[in-house]
Structure 1
Amino acid sequence: MALWKAVLGAALLVKQVHAFDVEGMLAAPRRSNANVNPSGVREKALEMLRGKLIGVQELALFSSTSYNWTAGKSKTTWHFLDVKSGNVSEAPIDSGVSEVVWVGATNTSVLYINGTNDEVPGGVTLYMADFGEEFAPKLVASLNAPFSGLKAVQTESGAIHFAVNSLAYKNGSAYNEELVTAAKSTGQVYNANFIRHWDTYITAERYAVFSGVLSSGYGGLSLEGDLKNLLVGVNGSVTRPETPVQPFGDSGDYDISPDGCTVAFLTKAPELPKANYTASYIYIVPHDASEAPVAVNGPGSSAPENAQGGSASPRWSPDGKKLAYAQQDGIAYESDRFKLYVASIDGLNAEVSTVAEDWDSSPSSIAWSHDGKDLWVVSELYAANRLYIVPADAEASFTPKKITGASPNLADFTLLPSGEALISASSTWSSKIFYTQGPSSSPRILFSAHTVDNELAGLLPNSTTNFWYTGGDGSQIQTFVYYPSNFTTDTKWPMVFMIHGGPQSSQGDTWSTRWNLRLWAEQGFVVFVPQFTGTPSYGQNFTDAITNNWAGTPYRDFEALFSHIEENVDYVDTNRAVAAGASFGAFSINWIQGHALGRKFKALVSHDGKSNQFGAYATDELWFIQHDQNGTLWDDRENYAVWDPMTHAKNFSTPQFIVHNDLDYRVVQSDGVALFNVLQSLGVASRFLHFPDEGHWVVGRDNSLVWHEHIFNWIRYWVGLEDELIGEGVIDQ
């Protein structure tokens, strides 16, 4: 509550320039999380390029990328955040810099990646610099591929040991697409599953972690020898090793020990086909690749026998003697509960112990306290990421207490010398919030985007609320509500009934440029977003309850919510309701279309949703459908048939807008095309939008603009807020 009031007070000081709209949201600065200098102690004042002196004890860096619609270009700038005062100043870093890490002889020295390389097309360069001196970056390495994911530590000798990742050939060398001669044929032949993933066809290359050393010599630091591929020694008997794990893995999939001698990384289980299993293991390997990697928690390790699933967040303790990580039990279930583990490391030997094993929560990121006694972990509760402290030797029955509240939604954190955390967060009313908080201290806000970005001016915390209602099978269901800026209870508002994707994911009070719920509300609607059966962060049993139950309990949850709104929310006109959803949410829309609830909506919107369960095996990650349908199509056909929307096609009658993109390999485009063809054949008002260059998500700004324009026009038209549908650019017969 204290943080909410602080943000509200700051926002009231900002003059609203214009209403929150699509163009503004897409152009507004997109800021990275804040990266604080390691010790938080500065040796001298920082001299800015403008000659401005600021003296602070704790300094953080973050990047900011804005878009200019007129020029059609993005611009990236880097900024300092004074953690003591909250002052923000521009940093003297070139816009071509993609990553910066604090490392070196002083507390103000950095190593960074520049995304260009004059010597090698497609390569990158590494530079050292010190903000505490005259800023004079020095080239220390020219790398021959588009490496990213920089992590680095300084050793006792003064050398810097670092790790990066890149695609690599089968022989282990780094892959650089710009140096490859294109084949005359575009044909690709496969002999195993996983021919494509997310939005890309799989090629012969795999991502790998590479290690390198910057050693001291005449003239300063320079690259010593060649980079070494640390995954080469993993025996991929069925699945070749890959780190980061695609499609969303990043530098969080590996970590360097504080002395720079050992690297921990995770990769998919080499003995299992990765299309059918989620299992992955943590490995440790010498930074110099002098020995083959050894699995910490794979088969034959000291890890508990039940720990067979996906692994995450390997993190070294401050003394380098322990390694914390999280792992699931389920070998083919991506939404199983993550449990905490700590491995005692001696060379390449590991002894694994469980931590707070009975805690019914799923940690997603981990950091060690400065004294190595506790783990600071992020875990979701009630659709919001919270920060917890867990003793590294906690008994199974230990229940951690949360440090942070429900809003804003935590994205990342860094520990400060004070014992507090510098937290990067967001909400539906602010795209980035930086604040500090500790176990016994109140939140102290340093920065909130909506107080400085004209594009977000006018957004306030009080535009969002939530309530609980009794779902279809008696469970308590949390629902988030979003209001337009001119909301008043004296008006009867049309409503948007929003169904989130996953299904094992949540949609709470967090910022998004793809599904910004405040922007939907600003179209003149009150938006309701239920966290229905299957949503994580409400206990693992609640998440598991959607298995083989896709349109059973969740559909009854939707019916119960609609009835609750009809009976209890006087300011909503349920006769002017629309429903929308993406992925699983779109599947639910397609299911609703064929059932009684569908007749209560004036219009529907489905984005990349499944309409044909018998085509489920066209997806990429087979473990997902086989788990959620509790079997295979050939042995358990009835599990697929029972939740097939097309079975109820004769009931389709509500106007529906369909989006389905060409590069969507999660839910293939034919599902959307088939649905559109059926609706058109039945004479149901419908439109179909696709983007040839987009996948499951629409990420291009120009494409996103079109997406929003057409969908908002569609929902506003069918509830009487617009007089006609968009005609320009629409293809007809």
Structure 2
Amino acid sequence: MTLCATKFTPEVLLSAPRRSAAVPNPSGKKALFSVSAWSFEEHKKTSQIKLLDIESGQSKVLVEDLNASEPTWLEDDVFFYLKRGDKGSTKIIANSTSESGPAGYEVVAFDGSLSNVKTTKLASGIVALVFSALTTPEETLANPETEEKPLSSAKIYTSLFARHWDKWITENRNSLWYTALEKKDGKYVPAAPGLFNALAWTKLSSPVAPFGGTGDFDVSPSGLIFVAKDPTIDPAIYTKTDLYYIPLSDFTEGNPPKPQLVETPGLEGYSGSPTFSHDGRKIAFTRMRSRQYESDKTRLLLIPDVGDLSKVEEFYKTEDGEGGWDARPDHIVWSSDDSSLFVTAEQAARNLIFTLPSNPKDAQDLPKPVKTTDGSVGDVRQLGDSSAKLFVTSSSLVDNSCYSVLDPSEGSASIVSSSSKQGKTFGLTRSSISSITFKGAGDYNVDALVMTPSFFERKKKYPLCFLIHGGPQGAWTDSWSTRWNPAIFAEQGYVVVSPNPTGSTGYGMALQNGITGDWGGKPYNDLVNAFEYIADNMPYVDVDRAVALGASYGGYMINWIQGHPLGRKFKALVCHDGAYSTLNQWSTEELFFPIHDFEGTIYDNRETYEKWDPARFASEWATPQLLIHGELDYRLPVTEGLAPFNILQAKGIPSKLLIFPDENHWVLKPENSLVWHREVLSWINKYSGIEEEQQAAVADALARDVQGARIWS
């Protein structure tokens, strides 16, 4: 039986089970998924692999093991998973979902850490497997746990990317490795004498660090397709990743053919989501135009025949090169007959599924969204090998994980399983969610998501919690988060408003690109307009008790607001891993980011960096502020948190510094995240007056208990 929370607290948020995307089996009747949870009572994590019956929505545990991950189907009732072994090794364990099937058994083990597995079945019945793994300069599997440790901790570099995200760069790199399994005497065994490095001696690396995964490659009986950084240009200066194809007819032998480059003239930015058609002859993928803009518009492309990589067709191509579809397609799924594509893209604070013909010549009308359940799509799969239906993993502002079946032909969506019973186990409902639209700083409108407490009464007034998103090319969406969850703030007693101002994604490229070279301009004025709209049109919001919070670019904007009139409208501010001085942007690792957003290098265009520097206005700072930073944040080094804290302290402004030595740009460890939530809520509640209200409520409850005891004594 699932217990319901009496109040949605940080403890409830962080200890709630976290489910992976679910993967249907070939018949479309069952699905595999992983689920993990953290116990604050025992201070430990649990992890399970579970089986979902798609018709009934019921699930059962197949494997309970912290070292087990990535369950993958081999056939309708047989799957395997990766198991982390001793001294950095990885085992492949096969298992059956049927009680009459064989018990779990080890198929093979490898001396290294494998992940991001994909499979394809060959005509011979052999199953080809492709993994990613850390690889040494000698093109062997890297195993940091067994390699010889250096006597010195010195790190020496002569090129860019000394460090990336939260790691110092080493000589090891990501590579793609393949092998094969076959079935003998009812069990799967290796069909190849080990693992083969598909990218050996090519200087190519895939998946692309730091966040690349299975979306960076695909496998079919015809071969392997993947994206990798162009090794001839500097990866810290340019975003350019190219698409490569390796024809492979046999996954049981080494010495693979040299990767073949897919050229896309006029498009030189990030490539992504390469996906084979079911027949293995066509490839759909995405690519950006700019090679220095990480958030450029993705174009949807097609290789009609892998036998001729020179022919690449673009969907919705226009003569001016802008493309006719003003969206950023991402995840790609082919229909069962390869006649259509289903792609995900952001639209107005939701991630949706769009459908279009798989032939660009037939794609005359712009894609239309397929009916989905509430919230945003996280993953899409075909429901079985021959089904026309889709199996979707999604989430929303009130539901942390939902599995549903979509029928695109009928325009219907039905929920199979919701981890939180559509928010009920958290005490949350869709009635708490709404949106507002107000005039932006220019000739455009801006949207904002609004979340009210579950105990909301329109006749009462609630302090404003004003959330500013990061990116800056990002957006607040109707989706779940364990780091910035609006419901956590709403359940404290706030009305939470989350604007999507200039720079936000999902509202067209004009609004998104409007932030370039204008970090503290239109976005700031959009937020000023948002605050004024709330004050004038939302009588149940107490703007005199408002607080504002932001992370990354949102943290930059908190520091910018501090030095400008809007900063005096808030009782308290919270800045998480924000930029204090734009003149320090070149202490980051991906230099293409400031080069694009500030329209040049700091030595060629210093004026723009200086214009939008929050440090210029430190003399105006006056609002109490909490600063949070992770020491492993190499995107925005920890000094960006220390400097503003020092200034606030020197000026005598109430301030607090929260440092996590073992966290990066995000606070991911459950115990650290709990501290984060407690400190943030304590800070804003103190200055908004909610802390005083909570204390009064506790005192009132105690008084009632005492009075009741007297009556019954």
The normalised TM-score by structure 1 is 0.90
CA contact (8 A) 1:317 1:372 kept: yes
| 1:497-539 deviation per Cα after TM superposition (whole angstroms, max 9, x unaligned) | 1100000011111111111110011111101000000111111
Following superposition, the deviation at residue 38 of structure 1 comes to 2.3
Aligned to 1:328: 288
Aligned to 2:34: 63
Paired letter, 1:552: G
| 1:595-654 deviation per Cα after TM superposition (whole angstroms, max 9, x unaligned) | 011111111000000011111100010000000000111110101000000101110001
CA distance in 2, matches of 1:233, 1:332: 27
Count of residue pairs brought into register by the alignment: 679
Change beyond 3 A, Cα 1:17–1:385: closer
CA distance in 2, matches of 1:215, 1:86: 32
Aligned residue among 212, 216, 219 for 1:249 = 212
Change beyond 3 A, Cα 1:323–1:350: farther
Aligned to 2:705: none
Paired letter, 1:30: R
Aligned residue among 189, 193, 197 for 1:229 = 197
Check if 1:35 corresponds to 2:5: no
CA contact (8 A) 2:177 2:195 kept: yes
Following superposition, the deviation at residue 294 of structure 1 comes to 3.0
CA distance in 1, matches of 2:414, 2:694: 47
Secondary structure of 1:430's aligned partner: coil
Paired letter, 2:270: G
| 1:571-613 deviation per Cα after TM superposition (whole angstroms, max 9, x unaligned) | 0111000111000001001000000111111110000000111
Secondary structure of 1:585's aligned partner: helix
Following superposition, the deviation at residue 168 of structure 1 comes to 0.5
Paired letter, 2:155: Q
Alignment of 1:427-506 (within 5 A): 427-439=396-408, 440-451=410-421, 456-506=425-475
CA contact (8 A) 1:233 1:292 kept: no
Aligned to 2:272: 312
Structure 2: gaps of 5 or more residues: 318-323, 696-713
Following superposition, the deviation at residue 14 of structure 1 comes to 8.1
CA distance in 2, matches of 1:315, 1:251: 10
CA distance in 1, matches of 2:626, 2:398: 27
Check if 1:25 corresponds to 2:26: no
CA contact (8 A) 2:333 2:341 kept: yes
| 1:391-431 deviation per Cα after TM superposition (whole angstroms, max 9, x unaligned) | 11134753011003583211001112441211101112111
| 1:201-239 deviation per Cα after TM superposition (whole angstroms, max 9, x unaligned) | 1111001110112245578432221211111242x4xxx
Aligned to 1:637: 606
CA distance in 1, matches of 2:3, 2:422: 10
Secondary structure of 2:278's aligned partner: coil
CA distance in 1, matches of 2:261, 2:302: 10
| 1:276-312 deviation per Cα after TM superposition (whole angstroms, max 9, x unaligned) | 1111011111344544433443xxx3x3x21111000
Aligned to 1:284: 245
Change beyond 3 A, Cα 1:346–1:434: closer
Following superposition, the deviation at residue 272 of structure 1 comes to 1.1
Following superposition, the deviation at residue 128 of structure 1 comes to 2.3
CA contact (8 A) 1:28 1:453 kept: no
Following superposition, the deviation at residue 356 of structure 1 comes to 2.8
Alignment of 1:105-504 (within 5 A): 107-117=76-86, 121-132=87-98, 133-216=100-183, 220-223=187-190, 224-234=192-202, 236=203, 241-257=204-220, 259=221, 261-285=222-246, 286=248, 287=251, 288=253, 290-297=255-262, 301=263, 303=264, 305-347=265-307, 349-357=309-317, 358-395=324-361, 397-405=364-372, 407-416=374-383, 417-439=386-408, 440-451=410-421, 456-504=425-473
| 1:6-44 deviation per Cα after TM superposition (whole angstroms, max 9, x unaligned) | xxxxxxx9874421111111111001111101232xxxx
Secondary structure of 1:208's aligned partner: strand
Check if 1:620 corresponds to 2:580: no
Following superposition, the deviation at residue 158 of structure 1 comes to 2.2
CA distance in 2, matches of 1:78, 1:356: 41
Paired letter, 1:330: S
CA distance in 1, matches of 2:585, 2:201: 36
CA distance in 2, matches of 1:616, 1:695: 17
CA distance in 1, matches of 2:182, 2:540: 68
Alignment of 1:655-694 (within 5 A): 655-694=624-663
Check if 1:576 corresponds to 2:548: no
CA distance in 1, matches of 2:309, 2:138: 27
Change beyond 3 A, Cα 1:452–1:603: closer
Aligned to 1:9: none
Change beyond 3 A, Cα 1:675–1:325: same
Change beyond 3 A, Cα 1:219–1:411: closer
The normalised TM-score by structure 2 is 0.92
CA contact (8 A) 2:118 2:219 kept: yes
CA distance in 2, matches of 1:612, 1:93: 48
The range that moved more, 376-385 or 85-94, is 85-94
Following superposition, the deviation at residue 485 of structure 1 comes to 1.4
CA distance in 1, matches of 2:292, 2:224: 27
Following superposition, the deviation at residue 127 of structure 1 comes to 2.1
CA distance in 1, matches of 2:184, 2:413: 46
Change beyond 3 A, Cα 1:724–1:686: farther
Q: What value does the CA root-mean-square deviation take over the aligned residues?
A: 2.0
Change beyond 3 A, Cα 1:667–1:563: same
CA contact (8 A) 1:492 1:572 kept: yes
Aligned residue among 31, 40, 44 for 1:73 = 44
Following superposition, the deviation at residue 452 of structure 1 comes to 8.7
Secondary structure of 2:369's aligned partner: coil
CA contact (8 A) 1:386 1:406 kept: no
Aligned to 1:49: none
CA contact (8 A) 1:29 1:453 kept: no
Following superposition, the deviation at residue 335 of structure 1 comes to 0.7
Change beyond 3 A, Cα 1:469–1:202: same
Following superposition, the deviation at residue 174 of structure 1 comes to 0.7
| 1:189-208 deviation per Cα after TM superposition (whole angstroms, max 9, x unaligned) | 00111111111111110011
Paired letter, 1:276: I
Secondary structure of 1:715's aligned partner: helix
Change beyond 3 A, Cα 1:293–1:350: farther
Aligned residue among 562, 566, 569 for 2:531 = 562
Q: Percent identity?
A: 35
Secondary structure of 1:100's aligned partner: strand
CA contact (8 A) 2:353 2:369 kept: yes
Secondary structure of 2:368's aligned partner: coil
Following superposition, the deviation at residue 434 of structure 1 comes to 0.9
CA distance in 1, matches of 2:102, 2:445: 57
Paired letter, 1:38: P
Paired letter, 2:51: F
Aligned to 2:573: 604
Paired letter, 2:132: N
Paired letter, 1:197: H
CA distance in 1, matches of 2:147, 2:165: 24
Following superposition, the deviation at residue 684 of structure 1 comes to 0.9
| 1:69-88 deviation per Cα after TM superposition (whole angstroms, max 9, x unaligned) | 12111111222222222222
CA distance in 2, matches of 1:693, 1:140: 36
Secondary structure of 1:450's aligned partner: coil
Change beyond 3 A, Cα 1:346–1:602: closer
The range that moved more, 619-628 or 219-228, is 219-228
Check if 1:97 corresponds to 2:68: yes
Aligned to 2:702: none
CA contact (8 A) 1:15 1:457 kept: no
| 1:696-728 deviation per Cα after TM superposition (whole angstroms, max 9, x unaligned) | 1000111111111111011010011225999xx
Paired letter, 1:336: D
CA contact (8 A) 1:359 1:398 kept: no
The range that moved more, 60-69 or 624-633, is 60-69
